[in-house]
Structure 1
Amino acid sequence: MITGIWDVELKTPIGTLAATYEFTGTADGFTGTATSRDETVALVDVVVDGQRVTWRQSVTRPLRLDLDFDVIVTGDELTGHSRAGRLPRTAVTGTRRA
């Protein structure tokens, strides 16, 4: 359900950030990476529970942050949010590539 390549936008207080996410199914669950223009990072603790998908990741650009994601996947669309500690939630939307 989450497997594939996704074009994702994060609407942050400093502007909209675009990233490409790739999720892969394995015998042990799911793994993935997130790539922005400056870096590629591994996704940690990817959990699929029905349509809900959660994961964690760390980034160093534009700021050093540890992010928690919580999204709902409906077909080839995802919507939800990410959160970095005490910072406000960031809206997350994405579309799976064909």
Structure 2
Amino acid sequence: MAVDGNWNITMSTPMGERNATLSLTSSDGTLTGTQGAEGNTGEIFDGTVSGDDVAWKISITNPMQLTLAFTGKVAGDSMSGEMGIGPMGSFPFTGMRA
């Protein structure tokens, strides 16, 4: 599908811009893969894909223990959307196919 492959994403956060890599695979509406940043990589979970709409979550421990919830749209070789950080609100992210 359109989202499968490797991505470089940039997240706008209260601590400034943060960069991460994504490796995504979709099958029957389910999105799986890994997300890495600052030397740490983890499995995404609760991933879904429907047409151009994508969503996934990742648990991080740096700079603090959080679950990040991403929702976005894929358009060709780009992706954009929102990253939810629980009580801290939502922040934009953008991505380009690697």
Relative to the length of structure 2, the TM-score reads 0.91
What does residue 91 of structure 2 align with?
Answer: 90
Percent identity of paired positions between Structure 1 and Structure 2: 32
Question: Which stretches in structure 1 are left out of the alignment for 5+ residues?
Answer: none
The letter of the residue matching 1:37 is: E
The letter of the residue matching 1:12 is: T
RMSD: 1.4
Q: Which runs of at least 4 in structure 1 moved beyond 2 Å after TM superposition?
A: 25-30
What does residue 46 of structure 2 align with?
Answer: 45
Larger deviation, residues 25-34 vs 78-87: 25-34
Which whole-Å CA distance do the structure 1 matches of 2:51 and 2:29 have between them? 17
The offset of 1:96, in angstroms, is 0.5
Larger deviation, residues 43-52 vs 18-27: 18-27
The letter of the residue matching 1:42 is: E
Larger deviation, residues 39-48 vs 25-34: 25-34
Larger deviation, residues 87-96 vs 22-31: 22-31
Which whole-Å CA distance do the structure 2 matches of 1:29 and 1:58 have between them? 18
Question: What SS does the aligned partner of 1:86 have?
Answer: helix
Q: How many residues align?
A: 97
Alpha carbons of structure 1 residues 27 and 17: separation in structure 2 relative to 1, 3 Å:
same
CA-to-aligned-CA distance 1:60-97 (integer Å, 9 cap, x gap) = 01121111110110001001011111112111100002
